[in-house]
Amino acid sequence: MLKPGMILDERYEIVDVVGSGGMSIVYKAKDHRLKRYVALKVLKTEFSSDANFVSKFRVEAQSSAGLTHPNIVSVFDVCEDEGFHFIVMELVEGITLKEYISLNGRLNMDQAIDFSIQIASGLEAAHENHVIHRDIKPQNIIVSKNGNLKVTDFGIAKAATSNTMSTTGMGSVHYISPEQARGGYSDERSDIYSLGITMYEMVTGRVPFEGDTNVSIALMHIQNDIIPPRQFYPDIYSSFEKIILKATQKKPERRYLTASALIADLKRVKANPNIDIIVAPQGVTNAPTQQFTAADMQAIKNGSAVKNNSSLNTFESPKPYEEKQSSVPQPGSERLNQLLSDEDDYEDEDDYVTPQAPVRRTGIKKVEDDYDEDDYDDYDSKRSSDDVDPKLEKAIMAAGVAVAVIIAVIVFIVFGNIMGWFKFGKKTTETTEDPSATEEQQMVPMIDVTGYSQEAADRLLKEAGFTNYTFEIETNEEVEANYVIRQSVDKGEMITTDQELIIYVSGGAEKVVIPSVVNLTNDEATALLESEEYGFKVKHSFEANDEIEKDRVISIEPAENTEVAKGSTVNIVISNGPDVKTVAVPKVTGISESAAKSSLEALKLALGNVSHENSDTVEKGLVIRQSIAEGTEVNEGTSVDIVISDGKKEVKYTGSVSGSISISGNSQEAIDYINAASSVTVEVYLNAGNATYTLYQNTLTGATSFPLSVSGSEQNLSVSEGTVSFRVIDNDTQADITSYFTSSLSSSFSPQ
């Protein structure tokens, strides 16, 4: 599993996990290039390691990337990074339709029709682009916060199917079409079947088929008839029920052939719920996409083909709250083998018998008389004569003859009784009153009302003649409120009609008040909500917040102090800390310090430390370099240090003079003159650049002072060359007598 902060493809930063499925994990991620949040669907390891699957998956995902529709989650890209294969998709804030139904229960008619139109519209756009979903189910439909629906996961089912044996059926088994269950060819009508099952769940809150194994449920899709939704809830529009039954026909050719045709009927029902939609009479768990093995498919093909009348056409009332709907037919019949060997060899439509017996609704029974059989009368009257099975015509004729014979017999018996031929109804002996016999005649078997609503149970008990019964309310987390949990006398027990009976009715789950968890840490809040006192199922979502510290609770839904059923699902929103924006660092080299500061502050960055150094290439006063390179993504408020040029480095030199000064040619005249003077002053100069420096000065008496050794130096010179000169002054007359002397002076320069 990827961790928050990891970056894929040098672009997508993982923020958090938002969901997980059978083949992938979905993450919320930040696209740093386009500055937006996206969803990354990352394939799990067992699929990513299969090169054949990945290849087909990429092709299918790329084809679905061409779909653009308001009711389809947009696919932006298909990527791979360091062994992780993932799809980049539009991020839709919301929950799955499965979660929506779980939280809100079955949908009302208007909402169910609106949701159905939106899903069908998404499928219509996909089918027009020759893309078949193959795994339509509530888990693959997202309900956004604004109520819009978006279909997701296009391409994955087909990619998985193409990577398996031809006998592999893909799709979630509770929503799988018969042809997919057979491992046969699937097309647009397979999506319509799965949508029909989804609509069924929207209006009833349950799926039509449940079983112990995937194989048993698949067999039900192939051979069992769907119980009409109105047997559970009579308030469902008859017209909408007929749409559902048509969409879920066993034969693909008997369903809606296109999503467009389905949408047209849905809109007609939305405009006028009482409209007569003529259709052929018919036919959860958070299930991941199922991948049937060859063994599973063989088990289906080995299943019984004989349609057990008790399981198909006559429904025995199942036990209250039992987990499974019906048993799987036993192996050994040739009929199912025939059904499974030929994809087009479906049961004949005229053999269909609409099931009428009471059924359960997650353990809740429905009184048989509440079902309106007239919903299909119009259909039968309007079928063309070409659709009538000759066998059915013969059966009708035989039934007519039988009825005529029965009527004739009844007339004969009545007439014979009047004429005295028979003695029906005449007593020949007196009846002996036997108290014990009378008491025995008043004993009746107790009926079963568990699973019925309190109102229905009350009516059934009255109809059965029971007079001494009371209802007691009990808290129950498993049974819906107002439905019977159990009864004080078991079904079938012989009792009198006035025996005291207690009928225990569910008051629903225990109610608790959502505690205050805002500002608690994620761990503290989760522990409190999941404690024995509350027993909530906790979901988490994350968002940025400038006020709440990271990893602490921002809010909870439902809100604090709301009274809800104990064990309900609650969602806590956790803070990711401030929503820090990132910016690209600008180029500030080559500009002045003040200009660099303005450029950084314009992007909400700060000027950090400013230092100076010499540069042979950058003009004095301009920025030589910056601490963070141009174009680097950093958080707003980040400081950037700069270095300012002081220009070229100035080198200082030390100038030195050395040598000697002598009397010119040892001239006697010069010697006499020097000896006659009271003293002379000797000065030695260094001429460097535009300046003259006196490096030596001495006052001497007499000619014997010569030759004179001279040395001297001057520091901090800005030049590295110069000339040497000297002068001799008669201190008595201040006359320049330099001409009486010669020198061997030289200069040198060395850098300091």
Write the pLDDT tens digit of every residue in 11-43.
Answer: 999 999 988 877 788 999 999 999 899 999 998
Helix 97-104 vs helix 188-204: crossing angle, to nearest 10: 20
> What would you measure as the largest C-alpha separation in the chain, in angstroms?
201
Between vectors from CA 290 to CA 286 and to CA 292, what angle results, nearest 5°?
150
- Tell me: pLDDT of 713 over 90: yes
- Candidate from 18-22, 231-235, 260-264, 613-617 with smallest mean pLDDT: 18-22
Cα–Cα distance measured from residue 161 to residue 526, given in angstroms and rounded to the nearest whole number: 39
60 pLDDT band (50/70/90 cuts)?
A: low
Q: Please tell me the predicted confidence (pLDDT) of residue 140.
A: 92
7-90 has CATH 3.30.200.20 classification: yes
125 pLDDT band (50/70/90 cuts)?
A: very high
710 pLDDT band (50/70/90 cuts)?
A: very high
- Tell me: pLDDT of 366 over 70: no
Q: Please tell me the predicted confidence (pLDDT) of residue 351.
A: 34
Q: Please tell me the predicted confidence (pLDDT) of residue 418.
A: 63
> What value does the mean pLDDT take over residues 255-265?
95
Write the pLDDT tens digit of every residue in 473-487.
Answer: 988 877 878 889 999
511-575 has CATH 1.10.630.10 classification: no
Between vectors from CA 660 to CA 659 and to CA 666, what angle results, nearest 5°?
150
159 pLDDT band (50/70/90 cuts)?
A: very low
350 pLDDT band (50/70/90 cuts)?
A: very low
Give the residue numbers annotated as catalytic, written as ranges: 135
CATH number belonging to domain 441-506? 3.30.10.20
653-751 has CATH 2.60.310 classification: yes
Cα–Cα distance measured from residue 312 to residue 352, given in angstroms and rounded to the nearest whole number: 9
Q: With beta carbons less than 8 A apart as the criterion, state whether 175 and 42 touch.
A: no
> What value does the mean pLDDT take over residues 323-347?
36
Phi-psi domain of 300 (left: phi exceeds 0; alpha: psi -120 through 50; beta: other): alpha
- Per domain, the residue ranges of the chain are 7-90, 95-378, 441-506, 511-575, 582-643, 653-751
Please provide the average confidence, as pLDDT, over all residues in the chain. 80
Q: Please tell me the predicted confidence (pLDDT) of residue 12.
A: 94
Q: Return the CATH superfamily for domain 95-378.
A: Transferase(Phosphotransferase) domain 1 (1.10.510.10)
Cα–Cα distance measured from residue 749 to residue 367, given in angstroms and rounded to the nearest whole number: 120
Find, among 160, 159, 157, 151, the residue nearest to 177 by Cα.
157
- Tell me: pLDDT of 210 over 70: yes
Q: Is 91 helix (H, G, I), strand (E, B) or coil?
A: coil
DSSP characters for 340-384? Answer: HH-TT-PPPGGG-----S--EETTEE--GGGS-GGGGHHHHHHS-
Find, among 446, 450, 467, the residue nearest to 503 by Cα.
450
CATH topology (fold) of 582-643: Trypsin Inhibitor V; Chain A (3.30.10)
Q: Please tell me the predicted confidence (pLDDT) of residue 358.
A: 36
DSSP state of 622: B
Q: Would the CATH topology of 7-90 be identical to that of 95-378?
A: no
Between vectors from CA 452 to CA 449 and to CA 455, what angle results, nearest 5°?
100
Residue 516 CB coordination number (10 Å): 13
- Candidate from 43-47, 99-103, 742-746 with smallest mean pLDDT: 43-47
- Tell me: pLDDT of 194 over 90: yes
Q: Please tell me the predicted confidence (pLDDT) of residue 471.
A: 94
Q: What is the dihedral of CA 664, 666, 669, 675, to 10 degrees?
A: 100
Write the pLDDT tens digit of every residue in 595-633.
Answer: 999 999 999 999 999 999 999 899 999 999 999 999 999
ω before 558 within 30° of 0 (cis)?
A: yes
Cα–Cα distance measured from residue 476 to residue 567, given in angstroms and rounded to the nearest whole number: 11
Q: Please tell me the predicted confidence (pLDDT) of residue 689.
A: 86
Q: With beta carbons less than 8 A apart as the criterion, state whether 152 and 90 touch.
A: no
